[in-house]
Amino acid sequence: GSILPFQEVFLSFFFVSLGMLLDVGFFIGHLPLIILALIGVMMIKVALNSFVGFIMAFSARVVVLTGVVLAQIGEFSFILSESGLRYGLMDRFTFQAFLSVSLITMALTPFLISLSPRISERIIQADIHPRIKNGRRYLKPEVNLEDHLIIVGMGITGRRLAEISEEHGIPYIGLDVNPETVRRARDEGLNVYYGDGTHVGVLRHFNVPEAAVMVVA
């Protein structure tokens, strides 16, 4: 907690230094080219990220959210581009074009994050195959799906509820959208599954109508 103020200061230095590298005259003079490059980069990144999520068999909602949220160019790319300019692998024109596109994508990221749930909901409402919409990572539950407890979110509260249910023999199912969290919980013997608890199809898969309680943790 004591280093958080320094984190904010260093982040400010980082973004101010990026802004100082930008040639405003170049940006204004080549705005149409920058906009076209921006659209192309974001479309390619959304497509690639979504494709990876699809290959990993995540639900359509998670695939779209991942693709949209990760559409920006990351901070580490600035280090690589600066090195490329220094060693003659990239000319000044390409560097400025790349810098302009990168800064715009980063500026758009907060808005994309806020809009991504709406975008994903619009897409999953379309007439697509249920296997694509729901994903293929949902395992068949190993407990009786009647009068059971459904725990959505396996953070501190969710894990504690699962542990208490284990101790008292209460039938339960834990859901989480983080594959690593699910893997660790299952390795520890908890009855946890990968699933998006905000998706109606997932809740039906785990028989929420017959559940005794559902806790959103």
Q: pLDDT at position 29, please?
A: 92
| Dihedral in degrees, nearest 10, Cα atoms 109, 111, 114, 117 | -80
Q: Are 169 and 192 spatial neighbours (Cβ–Cβ below 8 Å)?
A: no
Distance CA 166, CA 191 (A): 9
Please tell me the chain's helix, strand, coil percentages from 3-state DSSP, rounded to the nearest 5: 65, 5, 30
pLDDT-derived band at 160, boundaries 50, 70, 90: very high
Q: What are phi and psi of 90, to 5 degrees?
A: -145, 130
Which band of pLDDT confidence, cut at 50, 70 and 90, is reported for residue 144?
low
162-204 per-position pLDDT tens digit: 999 988 888 898 999 888 888 888 888 888 888 888 877 778 8
Report whether pLDDT(52) > 80.
yes
| pLDDT over 70 (residue 139) | no
Q: Is the pLDDT of residue 138 over 60?
A: no
Q: At what angle do helices 92-124 and 4-21 cross, to 10 degrees?
A: 120
Look at 128 and 53; give whichever has higher pLDDT. 53
- Chain segment 63-86, per-residue pLDDT in tens: 888 888 888 887 788 778 888 888
Q: What is the average pLDDT across 145-149? A: 82
Asked if residue 215 has pLDDT above 80, the reply is: yes
Lookup result for tokens 């959505």: 152
Q: Which pLDDT score, from 0 to 100, does residue 28 have?
A: 92
Q: The sheet that has 149-152: what strands, in order across it?
A: 192-194, 172-176, 149-152, 213-216
User: Which residues make Cβ contacts (< 8 Å) with residue 191, sequence separation at least 6?
Assistant: 141, 142, 143, 162, 166, 172, 173, 174
Q: Which two tokens stand for residue 12?
A: 């400010």
- pTM for the whole structure: 0.59
List, for residues 78-131, the tens digit of each pLDDT value. 778 888 888 888 888 998 999 899 889 888 888 888 888 787 777 767 776 666
